Amino acid sequence: MPSNRELFFRYLGQTSAFPLAVEIERAEGVYMYGQDGKRYVDLISGIGVSSIGHRHPRVVQAVKDQAEKYMHLMVYGEFVQSPQVKLAELLAQHLPHSLNNVYLVNSGSEATEGALKLAKRHTGRTEIVCFRKAYHGSTQGSLSVMGDERMKNAFRPLLPDVRTLDYNAIEQLDQISARTACVIAETIQGEAGAIVPENGFLQALRQRCNETGALLIFDEIQAGFGRTGKLWAFEHFNIVPDILLLAKGMGGGMPIGAFVASAEIMQSLSHSPVLGHITTFGGNAVCAAAALANLEVITENILWEGVLEKEKLFRETLRHPAIKSIRGKGLMLAVEFENFEQNKRIIDRCLESGVLTDWFLFADNCLRVAPPLIITNEQIVDACQVILDAIE
């Protein structure tokens, strides 16, 4: 009888020649457990997903309760479904007044796709501006605004009229013009290796969009829901986007995403043509119920308040001559090493010792630190010691 591992390689489409291929039997809190009972500390939250930990009891209960009532009823936007309505209301209550209209989708990639369509439709313009080393998903539209040519070239032609600038380069912002429909930027760049905006860059970007009438899209698919020490990363910079992208940490482990704008902007998708963006499973009732419970846990417990202290503990504990720098904000950190080979050896040793971490798509010499927000100080110190031992 073939093992699950053998069937994994035989029947599932592979994303690389070297998947981790660890078989997990169950997960809870910050821990995952293999079939042999081995315990792993999840130091990356399933890549920014399990912000309140794996299988949080309130999320599990919300899933069970909703599944007992109904699951899929109708394509998004046609029926009044309580989980969707309550989730959108709670999101709007915790966002600036101008971000008051929520379109629920399946994933971060679809949030990007919907937002790009919305910006083109609302402005009547075609040009999209993005940034190098940006990651916004891997469907064709989101791939078009990815800032790495190696990942894009095999799939061309992609969307036309896309202009790519350097992140943190204020002097390039004059390339945004009256023909620019939108500028899409990660508030903190994720796959570039947790790059934080510098020297008023985002403020200058907001001002340039104001001057030209371009819509500003902030991608907080990785940075949102408390990960940076505020509920939304843009709060660190005292500016507000025109469109906000959410996913990953939104669903408490269930697949869901959203793009959020003002009602005025969002209504552009409802006419000329009607059904300007449609999705069958976006805002699925069970996923929306899970996302509602997840957001309630985050906001009721103000989970972001302890994040900056936890960042400080990581920075103070992870000290070693081999560590060149630690970049990022809150629990969205990149530990920089000399090269990918050194980083990969450390990641592999950490996994052997029961700590799961990872590298970044466009910064493969950096080790990813993005644990659940509920991680304790003791768990941080223990995980850091495993990393330090792996370096040695």
> Which CATH number goes with the domain that contains 129?
3.40.640.10
Last residue of a domain, one of 260, 280, 300: 300
Helix (H/G/I), strand (E/B), else coil: 353: coil
Q: Are residues 293 and 342 in the same domain?
A: no
Are 310 and 331 in contact by the 8 Å Cβ rule? The answer is: yes
Q: Is residue 7 part of a domain?
A: no
Distance from chain centroid for Cα 97: 23
Looking at the fold, whether 40 and 134 belong to one and the same domain comes out as no
pLDDT tens, residue order, the chain (392 aa): 999 999 999 999 998 888 888 999 999 999 999 988 999 999 999 999 999 999 999 999 999 999 999 999 999 999 999 999 999 999 999 999 999 999 999 999 999 999 999 999 999 999 999 999 999 999 999 999 999 999 999 999 999 999 999 999 999 999 999 999 999 999 999 999 999 999 899 999 999 999 999 999 999 999 999 999 999 999 999 999 999 999 999 999 999 999 999 999 999 999 999 999 999 999 999 999 999 999 999 999 999 999 999 999 999 999 999 999 999 999 999 999 999 999 999 999 999 999 999 999 999 999 999 999 999 999 999 999 999 999 99
260 and 168 in a common domain: yes
Residue 337 belongs to some domain of the structure: yes
> Are 278 and 349 in the same domain?
no
- Which of 142, 114, 137 lies closest to 261, judged by CA? 114
260, 282, 300 — which closes off a domain? 300
The alpha carbon torsion through 361, 49, 30, 347 (nearest 10 deg) reads -10
Residue 209 sits in the same domain as residue 255:
yes
Domain interval for residue 44: 27-56+303-391
Count CB neighbours of 342 within 10 A.
14
Nearest Cα to Cα of residue 186 among 176, 199, 197, 177: 197
The CATH number of residue 325's host domain is 3.90.1150.10
pLDDT of residue 194: 98
Per DSSP, the three-state class of 261 is strand
CA distance readout (Å), 385 to 13, 24, 193, 356: 35, 23, 22, 13
Q: Provide the 3-class DSSP secondary structure of residue 237.
A: helix
Given this model, what pLDDT does residue 279 score?
A: 96
Give me the residue label for tokens 């050194």: 342
- Say what the pLDDT of residue 18 is: 83
Backbone angles phi, psi at 368, to 5 degrees: -85, 130
- 173 with 317, same domain: the answer is no
Among 193, 143, 203, residue whose Cα is nearest residue 173 = 203
Quote the pLDDT of residue 303: 98
How many domains does the chain divide into?
A: 2
Distance in angstroms (rounded) separating the CA atoms of residues 84 and 165: 36
List, in sequence order, the alpha helices (H) in the chain: 4-11, 45-48, 57-69, 82-93, 108-123, 140-144, 149-152, 201-212, 263-266, 285-300, 307-317, 340-352, 377-391
pTM > 0.95: yes
If asked whether residues 275 and 379 sit together in one domain, one would say: no
Provide the terminal-to-terminal Cα distance of the chain, rounded to the nearest Å. 40
